[in-house]
């Protein structure tokens, strides 16, 4: 029994010693993935509105009162005038609800590029 354990230990040590060599050959023989060369193009000038991220009602409603005031919307649309704000405030309460904001956003959305 002692000989079997000794032989098993020798085989295990030999396997452990050969493991790094086997791993190195496995890495060398593995096929390399195809690499495509990417050519950098000049950035195309896009309008500022196209670069803007999508804002949700909750993101614009800073005080979370369920309505958007002129000052809250002015933070998102810095060029907003009170006249533009009042144009889409259909119930004339001085705030935008979801429907009014959707109408304002649709009217002020950037034009889609033509192909």
At 27-83, the pLDDT tens digits run 555 566 666 665 556 555 555 545 556 778 899 999 999 999 999 999 988 999 999
Rounded to whole angstroms, how far apart are CA atoms 100 and 106?
A: 10
pLDDT at 26 over 80: no
- Per residue, what are the HEC states of 52-82? CCCCCHHHHCCCCCCCEEHHHHHHHCCCCCH
Average of per-residue pLDDT across 83-109:
92
CATH 3.30.70.1400 fits 48-107, yes or no: no
Phi, psi of 78 (to 5 degrees): -60, -25
pLDDT at 5 over 60: no
Look-up: residue for tokens 């999508």? 54
Length of the chain: 115
At 113 the pLDDT is: 74
Judged by DSSP in three states, 18 sits in helix
* Predicted TM-score (pTM) of this structure: 0.51
Query: Which residues, 6+ apart, have CB-to-CB distance to 25 below 8 Å?
Result: none
């Amino acid at each position: 029994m002692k000989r079997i354990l000794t032989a098993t230990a020798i085989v295990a040590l030999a396997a452990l010693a050969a493991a790094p060599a086997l791993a190195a050959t496995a890495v060398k023989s593995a096929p390399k993935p195809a690499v495509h060369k990417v050519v950098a193009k000049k950035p195309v000038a896009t309008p500022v509105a196209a670069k803007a991220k999508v804002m949700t009602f909750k993101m614009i409603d800073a005080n979370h009162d369920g309505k958007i005031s002129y000052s809250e919307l002015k933070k998102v649309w810095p060029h907003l005038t009170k006249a533009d704000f009042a144009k889409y405030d259909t119930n004339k309460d001085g705030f935008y609800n979801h429907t009014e904001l959707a109408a304002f956003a649709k009217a002020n959305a950037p034009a889609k590029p033509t192909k």
